[in-house]
């Protein structure tokens, strides 16, 4: 994981979340929340899981030995009071969407201004919530996992949307609009 790659992934994350949330907004709550047999039941459950997992990782990064001002204004309460990875953070889709936008903005700022090559090359020490133990991993691997996890579950979300007749559009990173 390089700084360029982390920054590209942060931009891709925001772009794809915007596309998925716009597509999901075309549906009413009932189809969004209908259990369709996905890992987290419904489209709404899947989107909640992605947000919760992001908050878990960002809360870990926020208390790391480095200073990450971009993460300073975020509320990590859902991650701190988590009852399970399927916990519903927001039942209201508008609230879920608004928080997703706040988090995506913070992720982009964090990647663009707070991360450095030295941080990416360092070990990262954190508390694993589910395993209830301290873990040490390369920071670059943790950040790669952070973005890969989002992509994995967004793929499930786009499948659910497709099954409901809603096309989120092209999801390929190389189709992301370029910044010139």
Report residue 177 CA to chain centroid gap: 20
- d(C-alpha 27, C-alpha 102), whole Å: 22
Closest among 23, 21, 92, 71 to 50, alpha carbons compared: 21
Distance CA 179, CA 132 (A): 42
The predicted structure's pLDDT at residue 180? 62
Which pLDDT tens digits describe the chain residue by residue (180 residues)? 999 999 999 999 999 999 999 999 999 999 999 999 999 999 999 999 999 999 999 999 999 999 999 999 999 998 888 788 988 999 999 999 999 999 999 999 999 999 999 999 999 999 888 788 999 999 999 999 999 999 999 999 999 999 999 999 999 999 999 876
pLDDT, residue 84, reads: 86
The topology (CATH level 3) of 3-168 is 1.20.120
């Amino acid at each position: 994981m390089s700084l360029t790659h982390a920054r590209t992934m942060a931009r891709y994350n925001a772009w794809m979340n915007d596309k998925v949330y716009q597509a999901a907004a075309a549906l009413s709550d009932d189809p969004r929340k209908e259990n369709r047999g996905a890992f987290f039941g419904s489209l709404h459950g899947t989107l909640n899981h992605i947000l919760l997992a992001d908050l878990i990782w960002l809360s870990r990064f926020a208390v790391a030995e480095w200073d990450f001002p971009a993460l300073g204004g975020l509320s990590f309460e859902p991650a701190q009071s988590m009852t399970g990875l399927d916990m519903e953070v927001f039942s209201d889709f508008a609230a879920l969407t608004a928080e997703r936008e706040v988090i995506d903005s913070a992720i982009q700022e964090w990647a663009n201004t707070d991360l450095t090559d030295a941080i990416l090359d360092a070990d990262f020490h954190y508390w694993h919530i589910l395993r209830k133990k301290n873990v040490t991993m390369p920071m670059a691997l943790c950040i790669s996992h952070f973005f890969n996890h989002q992509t994995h579950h967004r793929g499930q979300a786009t499948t659910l949307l497709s099954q409901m007749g809603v096309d989120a559009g092209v999801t390929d990173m190389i189709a992301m609009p370029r910044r010139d």
